[in-house]
Amino acid sequence: MSRLRTGLFAAALAASPFVTAQAQDLLRIGMESGPTSLDPHYASIITNIAFSRHVFQPLMEQDARQVLRPAIAKAWHAQDDLTWEIALDPAARFHDGAPVTAEDVAFTLARAGDVPNSPSSFRVYTRPIQSVEAVDATTIRIRTSVPTPLLPNYLSLIMIVSKKHGEGATTNDYNSGKAMIGTGPYRHISWQPGSPVVMERNADFHGTAPAFARVEFRPLANSGSRVAALNAGDVDMIEIVPPEQFTKFSADPRFAVSESPSNRLLFLTLDSDRENSPHIRGRDGSAIPNPLRDPRVRRALSMAINREALVSRVLQGQGKPAGDLGPEGYFGASPDMVPQPFDLDGGKRLLAEAGYPQGFSVQVNGPNDRFVNDEQVVQAIAQMWTRAGLLATVETRPRGVWLSEAAQLKYSVNFAGFSPNPEVLGMLETQIHTWDTKLGLGTANRGRFSNPDIDAIIQLARQTMDNAKREELTRQATRAAIRDQTALIPLYFAVNTWALKKGLAYEARTDEMTLASSVSRKP
């Protein structure tokens, strides 16, 4: 009888208006992965930045189309080529009630590029900054060592932390929650690696209040598990929806969907540097000089890929064939940089001209849990190259292993993706420029492509304040890198997708970020 009473009480409690209201104010999101760290400056990767944007804010932030808008700063302008003046919003306050000061900004910008053991440093964004000065209580002045036209874009990726709570704080202090004091729309509640990230609404947030009082980000790496969780009602929303399931959710009245073209380019990096590449051999398995050093071979491999087939068959329409480093309409994109036409016979002729009429043996590497249908894409490319006369094999790895091995240059050909800071110049700086730790350029150039003439154009572009001139220099460098040298092989631009239960809506973003603050209730 006691157990029966307990059960009846629990049932009544679950049905009470108070508990129902609590449940309605909870948003559960199924994520492909959680953050690698809560330290907002630990890794300059889109997933970590997205999580950070809930608890912290940058000075200026990017909207759903990556156009800059106010955040902690309410206005900014360049006083001259080396000086930016930024007006802080006096209403912006940390979770402990303290206002944001020039000291907080200066501390942040010094810390962001100097976090120990960072696998992907923010240093590339902070390197040009020479000083941060307080003009008055709500105005700061940032001086750069060289003209830096993209500084506001760089700053939009760097979350401002409290000097009071951050001075002396380690990455572990952020991960434990001890230093998680920001100005963002949510307050940190709990997180452990592999477990949900839990946050609660910041009642004193100076911007638009998010729709839900509490949010749980649940890591569900397997796409099938995310789909099953949404179907079962275990989560309210999921990201990165498999193409076939996106179609089903679109047709099911119990759900809503959201999608957006992405600025993420999916491409192949090619080892164009080493004389002996780890996964290149003759067809008989013998050692041969690396053929990927020859731009004719790189172009031939690009010609042998049927991008339309990749998009229509493997991705079921969730992509757009690419010939440029940025999508159409992106600053610096070139209207004439159309996708390389599929030309199998032309590719074979070019291989023969380069001295490989019988092809060679090559392994194509990539992830199997990072991009939509990534393993199938890698398999399809290997099959296309086999038809071009190569002996092509495939090896894919889980995301963590793949990232580590790619960074260690263990691959000859690697399937990768990258989203530039909102100009094509962001791709040129990180993926095309020669790897240069002193300049902080070429930081993601895994093929170690290097061309001094192209480097010179990139360096000139990144210091050109005049927008029209910078855009033309960007296009010039891109044409030389992709059309003339095939520094990498553009494949397609992704499509970002989300699915939600009925009654919710999501403002789809080009940058792939899944933000609880972008979820709204829909009548």
SS3 labels along 356-412: CCCCCEEEEEEECCCCCCHHHHHHHHHHHHHHCCCEEEEEEECHHHHHHHHHCCCCC
Query: pTM of the prediction?
Result: 0.83
Residue identified by tokens 């559960």 is 28
Checking if the pLDDT of 377 tops 80, the result is yes
More confident residue, 297 or 407: 297
Report the distance separating Cα 466 and Cα 223, nearest Å: 44
What percentage of residues in the chain have a pLDDT greater than 70? 96
The predicted-structure confidence for 146-173, as pLDDT tens digits, reads as follows 999 999 999 999 999 999 999 999 999 9
* Residue 28: strand pairing partners: 216
pLDDT band at 410 (very low <50, low <70, confident <90, very high): very high
Q: Are strands 255-270 and 488-501 parallel, antiparallel or unpaired?
A: antiparallel
Checking if the pLDDT of 357 tops 50, the result is yes
The helix (H) or strand (E) run that includes residue 207 is: none
Checking if the pLDDT of 3 tops 90, the result is no
Domains of the chain and CATH, by start? 22-219 (3.40.190.10), 262-494 (3.10.105.10)
Q: Among 110-124, 263-277, 355-369, 457-471, which stretch is predicted with the lowest mean pLDDT?
A: 110-124
Checking if the pLDDT of 117 tops 80, the result is yes
- 3-class DSSP state for residue 176? coil
pLDDT band at 298 (very low <50, low <70, confident <90, very high): very high
Contact 107, 161 (CB under 8 A): yes
Nearest residue to 117 (alpha-carbon basis) of 41, 226, 11: 41
The predicted-structure confidence for 12-54, as pLDDT tens digits, reads as follows 434 433 334 456 799 999 999 899 999 999 999 899 999 999 9
